[in-house]
């Protein structure tokens, strides 16, 4: 019986081992945005394809991701939305308990630009009524995979040349992949410099879903 109990804990520990690498956590966060090729994941995580493949293999062995092959490309996706929930829970717990993480986040985020304490349901209602513009600044393929209701896709690298598409008399709420993603922060800085009333929503699709809010897929 003692050996059986040890094996039970060992199996659970496989999940902990799989997500013990910072880069593997980053890959999980990227896959929260939708299915991606190994090459895309490597580029977005700023690592080699070989290293990305090795990390993805570990995640797959722990049944956290699945893969499929299409021609010469291998596509990876999360095994289930519960894996995204696991990432959000783990990151949130770390933010709550680790002062070092709190300080790191404070150093890169201007809290005056964030929507802190704002009811997410209210954002939905105001967006539906046209009272705010919800701006998804991730790559368009991530938007196509899943996005917040009433959101408009405008990738951050296209924002400067497409500013005319945004009304200046309506507040803009920008979001990207979550609290660790800086694309929305950059978008808010640009919009404010151009005279827009802009705010940073630190939630991404995974955080939004984890709150029990609807997501368009």
d(CA 27, CA 45): 7
Q: From the candidates 32, 38, 133, 176, which is the catalytic residue?
A: 176
The reply to whether 176 belongs to the active site is yes
Per-residue confidence (pLDDT) for residue 23, from 0 to 100: 98
pTM of the model: 0.94
Average pLDDT over residues 25-40: 98
Residue 35 pLDDT exceeds 90: yes
Q: 38-45 vs 22-31: helix axis angle to the nearest 10? A: 120
d(CA 183, CA 174): 9
């Amino acid at each position: 019986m003692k050996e059986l109990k040890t094996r039970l804990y060992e199996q659970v520990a496989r999940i902990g081992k799989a997500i013990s690498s910072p880069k593997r956590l980053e890959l999980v966060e990227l896959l929260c945005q939708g299915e991606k090729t190994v090459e895309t994941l490597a580029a977005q995580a700023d690592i080699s394809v070989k290293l990305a493949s090795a990390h993805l293999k570990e995640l797959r062995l722990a049944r956290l991701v699945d893969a499929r092959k299409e021609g010469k490309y291998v596509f990876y996706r999360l095994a289930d939305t519960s894996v995204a929930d696991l990432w959000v829970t783990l990151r949130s717990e770390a933010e709550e308990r680790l002062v070092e993480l709190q300080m790191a986040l404070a150093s890169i985020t201007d809290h005056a630009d964030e929507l802190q304490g704002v009811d997410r349901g209210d954002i939905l209602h105001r967006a539906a009524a046209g009272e705010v513009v919800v701006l998804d600044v991730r790559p368009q393929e991530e938007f196509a995979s899943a996005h917040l209701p009433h959101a408009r896709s405008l990738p951050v690298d296209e924002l400067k040349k497409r500013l005319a598409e945004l009304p200046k008399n309506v507040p803009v709420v920008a979001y990207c992949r979550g609290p660790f993603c800086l694309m929305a922060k950059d978008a808010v800085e640009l919009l404010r410099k151009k005279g827009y009333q802009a705010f940073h929503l630190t939630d991404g699709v995974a955080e939004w879903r984890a709150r029990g809010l609807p997501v368009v897929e």
